[in-house]
Structure 1
Amino acid sequence: MKSLAYSRSHQTLYALHAFGPDHVRVFSVSEDGALSLRAERYSVNVGTRTDRIPTQAVLSPDGKFLLIDILFDARPATSPDGVTTLVVSNAPDPDGLVVFPVEASGGLGKPLFQDAGGAGPFYIAFLNGSSETFLNGTAVGDGLVMSRIDSAGQVSVDELVPIATGAGKPSELCWLAISPDNRFVFATNFGYGNISSYRIDDGKLAIAQDPACESVPGDGTFRAVNGLVSSGPSDNWLSPDGKHLYQIYGNASVLVGYAVHDDGSLTEHTKMTIPYNSPQGLAGF
């Protein structure tokens, strides 16, 4: 299982699985929190792409649509000589974002296969207070895309804003955290072992600090897709006041806390040892 999305209005939980064809399963949630598995099964496969690998499912804040990012159009395969083949989604076929309408019953309607705006869409985050505008982090597009969804579930995308990739491609830009005032977006670069920041001005994305902090070195054994030794940052969390950002570096065995500055830069102010390559997610309140 990759991620969960909960519809409070429908008392329904959606579970996303990396491997299909039953990529999405649905649970009813009772008043006391008990789960009941429903019969519905949904796939994100389309056309000849019959073994797609999704990464994340997110409900629009108004509960009308379930959005799913597809990272690969086929399961990664390794040949006998050790060469791994990755078939990245949304490149060239612009269908790496799947939008399911949410029905009154909590079931899902016919999926809309749409352009995510960049190769290897990985992470969706709606702006605070908006059910229309969201950001999509692209792991192989090496940047962020600002997108908007209308009342019919149709998505329009702005031009992708990439980070600097002189160190090698892909950057594997993945997880996002948006500041409470929607001024800054912090993007975790799995392949580089660091974080980049964007600013949002008049509804447009631009680079703020790239990188926003120093790279955290890995242990010397794990390499990202781009061949670099990576500390494998896997998730981040921004405090509700927007003053502190926390980042997991699983292949360096550390959780780092940063102070957030007005220019979008980050300064390390705390560090804790964590189990090697174990924690994969952060949440707080």
Structure 2
Amino acid sequence: MNTEKNINPFNGYIALFALLLSFGFLIFGIVYKHPFDTIVACILLLLIAKGFIIISPNTAKVLLLFGNYKGTIKQNGLFWINPFYTRTSLSMKARNFESDKVKVNDKMGNPILISVILVWKVEDTFKAIFEVDNYTSFIKIQTDSAVRKLAGSFPYDHFEDEMATITLSTNFDDINNALENEVTERLEIAGIKVIEARIAYLAYAPEIAHSMLRRQQASAVVAARHKIVEGAVGMVESALSLLSTKNIITFDEDKKATMVSNLMVVLCGDSETKPVINTGTLNQ
């Protein structure tokens, strides 16, 4: 027996009626002084009373008879079972688990902080009770292990690995699916169903966060500068072509180089350009 077995218990209301009959039989034995009937009625009364069981919604009862697994009751209501059964209650509700922020290394060896949120529920009561020692502790440890493996399988971003197709900080759906599959595989032995698994927190570790931020800012500045220079070259080219086409002015190579230099300074400079009025010739 390596899996759950559902059983249908006896109707509790019929047992309740039998309990009332036993009580009446007991009163009869006492009143008419029938010792044997009184003893039998007492035994029946105790056995019937001890066999009652009430199961609330989203709750299961695991039944053992002298250490032997007999089955699980998942129905709701009032029932009667063998009074010698040992009963263990188990919640079937969906529950949340948020892991602590753990420091791990990503695929490129950078230390990062990561935590996850896991939504789970018990699916197989036999495995949850008998296959692992403590299934809630098992969930915590295995989830942390899955997070460490996931973080070590992907780079944090594309700055470290430009050829990576999936990174922790950008491909959230792919990462969450990989995490869910990993956790599901690990928790299957405990009869746990993973409803959802997703990253709750992700950041560089404090000791490298500032350096990584400066690196990202530098990359953004370089990209912006590249775009500015590209646009400035196009504007200078258009200006020279327009001046030449309309015969507004004729440039030799020196004058063209001077104008290109001035226009590039104006267009690419960080600070506001202050105009200088030249009242002489272009060569002055």
Question: The TM-score by the shorter chain falls in which range?
Answer: under 0.3
Higher strand share: 1
**Looking at CA atoms only, which structure, 1 or 2, has the larger radius of gyration?**
2
Higher helix share: 2
Relative to the length of structure 2, the TM-score reads 0.19
**Using CA pairs below 8 Å that are at least 6 residues apart, which structure has the higher relative contact order?**
2
